[in-house]
Copies of this chain bind each other. A is one copy, B any other.
Amino acid sequence: MDLDLVFLGTSGSMPTPQRAPAATLLRRGGERLLFDCAEGTQRQLLRSEIGLVELREIFLTHYHADHYLGLPGMLKTFSLRGRELPLTVYGPPGLRELFGALRRIFGRLTYEVELVELRAGDVLERPEYDLVVFPVQHGVVAVGYALVELPRPGRFDVEAADRLGVGPGPERGALQRGEAVTLGDGTTVTPDAVLGPPRPGRKVVLSGDTAPAQSVRDAARGADLLVHEATFCEDERARARETDHSTAAEAAGVARAAEVALLALTHLSNRYIARDVPRPARAIFSDTVVPKDFDLIEVPFAERGPPRLVKGGAAHERRPEHVSAEVP
């Protein structure tokens, strides 16, 4: 099952010509989970190869304007297109109050919006993964999110199955699903006899805005990918403390302590040149990347290789205007 993250907005609180403010799309199989939705996110989607798809779930990390200002326009656009599919917006406590204020802007919609307030420690349990809500340290009510896949069944040992007399057919399928089977000769074969040890699922962690925090380290332990904010560089470490943000080096420290496979830095202040950011981080944690808008990171199962950054992987060639219509 494919899993990747598309970086739709990688700037800090202010946009730059090249970078929109915070928005990250997680794609897993057919699912599309949007994390944060800064001003301009609907157009970033339109400008990407993804298009402005009918998102079903949006997760907010906190309620600073640069993380939610794209919501009212996007909700309104969905409505203008006649959307009927319900949308669920998740976020820490304060979500209902925020929507009380935003409703004045987007008005009546053609579809239902369900608001779900989540607390740090909550876990959304889904068939194939848990979505873990963890605390961060940003001076306001704020959380991060970890998508933690459940372990997959172990590898099926064809030779062992042959040896035990389980030929190709429905019995192998049952064993793969974890069910014991009884053969024609009356012997029973249990799954552990033909399956290797369960294989770990993947883990992708998004810090949102935060100072370097033990809670993020804990949530990110052993992650395949940690997306961590890096608003500042070391010259502004004092300012990072004042504003409850992280420096690139501090984010790298979290990644190293958590022993993640790959660190992606985002939420860059426009005072830095993007090329200033990787060096101090890589000095501490070498597997660090600094995605640009429309870059994506593929997260394959561990046995298929490490996560990798694909430059411009979600950009499409500039389309001529006549193929851009997005109206249903």
> A15 contacts which chain B residues (CB < 8 A)?
42-43, 46, 77
- Complex CA gap A326/B11 in Å reads 13
Which secondary structure characterizes the binding site on chain A? loop
User: Of residues 24 to 39 in A, which have CB atoms within 8 Å of B's CB atoms?
Assistant: 39
The one of B21, B76, B318, B324 in contact with A270, judged by C-beta atoms closer than 8 angstroms, is: B324
Closest to A74 in B: B39
- Complex CA gap A261/B156 in Å reads 77
Q: Does A73 contact B (CB under 8 A)?
A: yes
Binds B, one of A64-72, A210-218, A299-307: A64-72
Given contacts A40-B40, A43-B40, A72-B65, contact A273 B16 (CB under 8 A): no
Given contacts A65-B73, A69-B73, contact A325 B39 (CB under 8 A): no
Contacting pair A76 B70 (CB below 8 A): no
Per-residue CB proximity of A93-110 to B under 8 Å, as 1/0?
A: 000000001001111000
Count of chain copies: 2
Contacting pair B66 A76 (CB below 8 A): yes
The one of B65, B69, B274 in contact with A321, judged by C-beta atoms closer than 8 angstroms, is: B274
User: Of residues 248 to 299 in A, which have CB atoms within 8 Å of B's CB atoms?
Assistant: 270-275
Given contacts A322-B273, A327-B271, contact A105 B17 (CB under 8 A): no
Q: Which of A13, A65, A70 gathers most chain B CB within 10 Å?
A: A65
A residues near B (Cβ < 8 Å) are: 13-18, 20-21, 39-40, 42-43, 46-47, 65-66, 69-70, 72-73, 76-77, 80-81, 101, 104-107, 270-275, 318-319, 321-322, 324-327
15 further A-B contacts with Cβ under 8 Å, apart from A16-B321, A101-B101, A275-B321, are A13-B77, A16-B325, A17-B46, A17-B47, A18-B319, A21-B73, A39-B40, A39-B69, A39-B73, A40-B40, A65-B106, A271-B325, A273-B321, A273-B322, A274-B321
